[in-house]
Amino acid sequence: MKKIFSALTLLILFTSSAFALSDSDYLKMKRNSVEFARADRKLTNTWNKLKKSLPADAFKELQKDQREWIRTGRDNAANVYIKQGSSRTEAYTLATYQRANILPQIAKEIEERLNEDNEDDNYGEIEEDRFKNSDSDPDVINHSGNYTRQNDNGHGGFMTVLVIDKNTLEAEVTISLQNPEVTWSAKGWIGENDVLELFDSNYSECQADLTFSKDRVIIETSPADEWNEILGSDLRLDGVYVKN
């Protein structure tokens, strides 16, 4: 007699469990138990819906997970119910219902994980391209140097910029005022449009944006009151700095 298997039972099962469900056991249980057949049908319908809705890569991962459930997971779940007093048929019926209910969530988690992996890969490629481009751009690397602030209002603004990693474009900046004598330093990464964002290590509200343009740097600071604690009353780092 020709045997007909459902889509979920085409896999040959191998397990050493004493309660393992063989192919013949599965078919016999499906014929003799209306409730088990109903649970199996629910699982099959759920599987078919996911097959239609999931992207190919996510469905491939779900197939791997389903094979493992058929190989060992189903028996392990059923054994828990058997130890609690359920009959063998009842146990496998409950395990099958359980799988049908949880399968969409498993599929969702797989799809989300794959999407996150793809986003990380794309981000890495973008960053790698940016680093490659910047490495060949002498203007970016040449941002390192000493700068003097124009129209410093007698405060004597000086700045030193050091690109400490030409691949990641990490830069260290030190800005000094002479009257009164105040020094502020921070590290950051030069991003798009040659903008370097710096944050004070103790006051995150205190931000300084440095925009590079050839031999000039325009500094704009956030309006945070904490700047008074760092620099002193009414002092700011803002202005145009020209490379020496």
pLDDT tens figures, 182-200:
888 898 888 878 899 998 8
Give the pair of three-digit tokens for residue 234: 């009414």
> What would the two tokens of residue 211 be?
């925009």
- Domain final residue pick, 86, 106, 133: 133
Task: Kindly report, residue by residue over 203-241, the tens digit of the pLDDT.
Answer: 878 899 999 988 899 999 998 888 988 888 778 899 999
Q: Is residue 27 part of a domain?
A: yes
pLDDT at 135: 46
**pLDDT class of 119 with cuts at 50, 70, 90:** low
Tell me which residue range forms the domain holding 124: 7-133
Residue 50 lies in a domain: yes
Q: Would you say residue 6 has pLDDT above 70?
A: no
What are phi and psi for residue 13, nearest 5 degrees? -95, 135
- Spatial CB neighbours of 163, under 8 Å, sequence gap ≥ 6: 140, 141, 143, 144, 169, 170, 171, 190
Number of domains in the chain: 2
Q: Which two tokens stand for residue 50?
A: 């996911």
CATH classification at residue 210: 2.40.128
> Do 114 and 27 reside in the same domain of the chain?
yes
Predicted pLDDT at 125: 55
In a domain, 45, yes or no: yes
> Across residues 152-156, what is the average pLDDT?
75
Asked, for residue 1, whether it belongs to a domain, the answer is no
Q: Is the residue at 81 inside a domain?
A: yes
Largest CA distance in the chain: 101
Of the residues 110, 133, 156, which one is the last residue of a structural domain?
A: 133
Q: Is the pLDDT of residue 90 over 90?
A: yes
| % of the chain surpassing 90 pLDDT | 41
- The amino acid sitting at 56 is A
DSSP assignment string, the chain = ------GGG-SPP----TT---HHHHHHHHHH-HHHHHHHHHHHHHHHHHHHHS-HHHHHHHHHHHHHIIIIIHHHHHHHHHHTT--HHHHHHHHHHHHHHHHHHHHHHHHHHHHHHHHHHHHHHHHHHHHHHHHT-HHHHTT-EEEEESS-TTS--EEEEEEEETTTTEEEEEEEEETTEEEEEEEEEB-GGGEEEEE-SS-TT-EEEEEEETTEEEEEE---TTHHHHH-TT----EEEEE-
Domain assignment present for 15: yes
| Among candidate residues 133, 162, 189, the one where a domain is terminated | 133
User: Would 55 be classed as within a structural domain?
Assistant: yes
- 26 and 116 fall within a common domain: yes
Domain match, 62 and 98 both:
yes
Q: What is the pTM of this model?
A: 0.44
The token pair that represents 78 in the structure block = 């059923």
Residue 7: what pLDDT?
41
| pLDDT at 8 exceeding the cut of 70 | no
Is 103 in the same domain as 157? no
